[in-house]
Structure 1
Amino acid sequence: MTTLEPAPTTTASALTGRIRDAILRGDLAPNQRLIEADLSESYGATRAAVRTALGTLAGEGLIERLPNRGARVRALTVDEAIEIIEVRIGLESLCARKTAERLTAAQADALRALRDEIIDAVAAGDLIEYSRLNQEMDRLLREDSGHATATALLERLRAQTARHQFRLAFHPGRAAQSAPEHIAIIDAVLAQDADAAEAATRAHLEGIAALLRALD
């Protein structure tokens, strides 16, 4: 387990975020046991904060409780990841549509800047930055949609499939294929073409599901 600098004032909320990030990065591996005493020492948090954080992450589907054996990082199967992506298709398509319909000038400026950064990251072969920018694009489209229910559901679903999608980001040739798909989504939103934004989002996510099936 990765040991971090002690932070005795770590709150349950902050601890939840740090453990979540460790799971998504792969620092905490699928099926790895999560022992309260170890987490408390590693993160400089109280046992009560650890229990609260583990309960929150269990609710998000990132960890699972084991009867009389504590908790462990949940290992999401490819079939489960594909099912989640199929659900996300409807929600993310809705968010793209809503964002296109209600786009403000400030939101458009942020998307244009992000579009340029995506192009630069792919040209430079910086896959880590490209992966980060993809997540940023998804976040902007969720938040700019103004659809609170879809946003809340997506934040939970995306966390569960993040490890699989991070792996896909480094698949040979994936960036060259997915970058134009992301640009198409952004361009449709900037044109305030709700139908095109919805269709581009659906096509992109269907491609992710198909690649997961092929790689399984």
Structure 2
Amino acid sequence: MTAAGPDETGRGRSPRVVDAIRDAVTGGEFAPNQRMVEAELSERYGVNRASVRDALLELASEGLVERIPNRGARVREVSLAEAVEITEVRMALEGLCAAKAAERATEEDRVALRGIAASMRDAVAAGDMFGYSDLNKRLHELVMTISGQATARTVLARLRGQNVRRQFRLAMHPGRPAVSLPEHLAIVDAVCAADPVAAEAAMRAHLRSVVDALPEVEKSHPRRFDAL
């Protein structure tokens, strides 16, 4: 990874350090409960320890890192119960975004949505689970962008960051793409039809399906998979 570089003053938080560590945590470079050693992070990102310390404080406020008294910081592990709660909050917010997207979508937006939907069909047909997982993320992000709901998007980015490992495991779960594909297609169809009621219902139904699947996925994957 490219070093984040020191901040101009040599003191305080460098936004690039926060972003770099956040990306490493949500990208699976650091496993749940892994210690975040300031000296090691300072060397890795080429910044002073004060910048790293401030970055970890910010990430703790986002729920990605937890600080343990007299033991420093570590990557926070999200429990199954919390993962369910996060997804239930997503149901409300992403349902809102889907409704707004149906009201605001331009013809260019509809073309982009249908293009992702077609690629998702191809990925499932080819058994390309990694490709499908990436398209899944792109579809949700596009719906949020089209919605123009900046506040919801900010909150959702934080929630998805906390739950990113389970989202990946769910997308990789055998048989899951065949279940979620028609759910995603229903979202696209409703947004493209400019039907906000149907769009919200389709998004909420999809995320309810995620809630229902989480316990099964939790049982079927060993804890070491969290390191991915």
Aligned-partner Cα distance in 1 for 2:61–2:135? 27
Trace 1:70-81 onto structure 2 (pairs within 5 A). 70-81=72-83
Asked whether the equivalents of residues 5 and 44 of structure 1 are also in contact (C-alpha less than 8 Å), the reply is no
Displacement of 1:5 after TM fit?
A: 5.1
Trace 1:196-207 onto structure 2 (pairs within 5 A). 196-207=198-209
Query: What is the aligned-residue RMSD (CA, Å)?
Result: 1.7
Displacement of 1:47 after TM fit?
A: 2.0
Asked whether the equivalents of residues 102 and 190 of structure 2 are also in contact (C-alpha less than 8 Å), the reply is yes
Q: Give the equivalent residue in structure 2 for 1:31.
A: 33
Aligned-partner Cα distance in 1 for 2:192–2:24? 34
Displacement of 1:54 after TM fit?
A: 1.2
Query: Aligned partner of 1:31: which letter?
Result: N
Give the 4+ runs in structure 1 shifted more than 3 A. Answer: 4-11
Q: Is 1:148 aligned to residue 145 of structure 2?
A: no
Displacement of 1:18 after TM fit?
A: 2.4
Asked whether the equivalents of residues 111 and 186 of structure 1 are also in contact (C-alpha less than 8 Å), the reply is yes
Trace 1:89-168 onto structure 2 (pairs within 5 A). 89-168=91-170
Aligned-partner Cα distance in 1 for 2:118–2:16? 32
Structure 2: 5+ residue runs without aligned partners? 8-12, 219-228
Aligned-partner Cα distance in 2 for 1:163–1:143? 23
Deviates more, 1:117-126 or 1:68-77: 117-126
Name the SS for the 1:72 alignment partner. strand
Q: Give the equivalent residue in structure 1 for 2:16.
A: 14
Displacement of 1:17 after TM fit?
A: 2.4
Percent identity of paired positions between Structure 1 and Structure 2? 53
2:176 to 169, 174, 177: 174
Q: Write the deviation string for residues 64-86 of structure 1: whole angstroms up to 9, x where unpaired.
A: 11112211000000000001111
TM-score by length of 1: 0.92
Asked whether the equivalents of residues 96 and 189 of structure 1 are also in contact (C-alpha less than 8 Å), the reply is yes
